[in-house]
Amino acid sequence: MRTMRIAIVGSASSGKTTLAQALAGHYRDVWVPEYLREFVEQRQRVPVEADQLHIAETQSAREDLAMVRASRFLFCDTTPLMTAVYSRHYFGRIDPRLAALVAARGYDVTFVCAPDMPWKPDGLQREPEDQSAAVNAILSEELAARAIAHVRISGPLAQRLRQVEEVLGSA
């Protein structure tokens, strides 16, 4: 049986990490944390435009390394697509190399987390709460432009897990 690569995307504070961890536990499989968190902690600053490709490449490389440990599912806490979305949001464009990386990455299922979780500040990494609507609008545009099929999930964690189970099957 082939391992499925599962993308979990959405704006900041939409529950991506919580969901990815819970899914890995639920299905007893592997998840890949968001590299951006580590990047910000190590450098003690937010990324600039020149950092975007590095962030997306590192996230991709970590997915590829984790794939060998996964059995049924690899849960990806964000993807290069979100780096592209934030590039467009903050810098007004997506670098062509980043766009090519996004186009080259394939995911079997993409879950889009609704921004209905309580917003929590996250040090240097987190933008103000009011960015969620703008980021989600760009994400919707990018998903449509790239013809990426996706499933929108919402509600508290237990509800989200049930929604994912409807797509992936039970544990």
The domains located in the chain, with CATH, are 4-168 (3.40.50.300)
Sign of CA dihedral 146, 148, 151, 156: negative
Nearest to 16 by CA among 126, 103, 137: 126
Beta-bridged to residue 112, according to DSSP, are: 9, 152
Give Cα 44 to chain centroid, integer Å: 21
State how beta strands 73-77 and 109-113 pair: unpaired
Q: What pLDDT, on the 0 to 100 scale, is given for residue 118?
A: 73
Per-residue pLDDT of the chain (171 residues; tens, 9 = 90+): 799 999 999 998 899 999 999 999 999 999 999 999 999 999 999 899 999 999 999 999 999 999 999 999 999 999 999 999 999 999 999 999 999 999 999 999 999 999 987 766 665 555 655 688 899 999 999 999 999 999 999 999 999 999 999 999 987
